[in-house]
Amino acid sequence: MHPDLSLHLHTEECQIFIKQLHNCHQEHRFGKYIGACDKFHTLVSKCCQRELQAKRKASAERSGRKTQTFTTKEGYEIGSHKTV
């Protein structure tokens, strides 16, 4: 699942991917059910995940918490928060 895909809620980078996903769904009305738009869905999901990580980091910085992040082998950052 991905979050609400309203364009005003996302960065310009993610907006491009969201538009591509919507266009793919329009072009492949039935193909979307058998994977015709999977690559766009993956791009949207990864972009939304990066946005969420940025929001979490900004929130932690505003609250004054120290964060410790780990990078997975796929290149994703996972944060574990510790209160000061």
Q: Which parts of the chain register pLDDT below 70?
A: 1-2, 64-70, 77-84
Per-residue pLDDT, 1: 59
pTM of the model: 0.63
Does residue 13 lie in a domain region?
yes
Residue 55 pLDDT: 86
Contacts (Cβ under 8 Å, ≥6 apart) of 84: 64, 65, 66
Q: Is residue 60 part of a domain?
A: yes
Sign of the Cα pseudo-torsion (47, 51, 53, 57, in order): positive
Residue 67: helix, strand or coil by DSSP?
A: strand
* 75 is a domain residue: yes
Q: Which domain holds residue 30?
A: 7-82
Identify the burial level of 74 via C-beta atoms within 10 angstroms of its C-beta, where 0-12 means exposed, 13-18 middle and 19 or more buried.
exposed
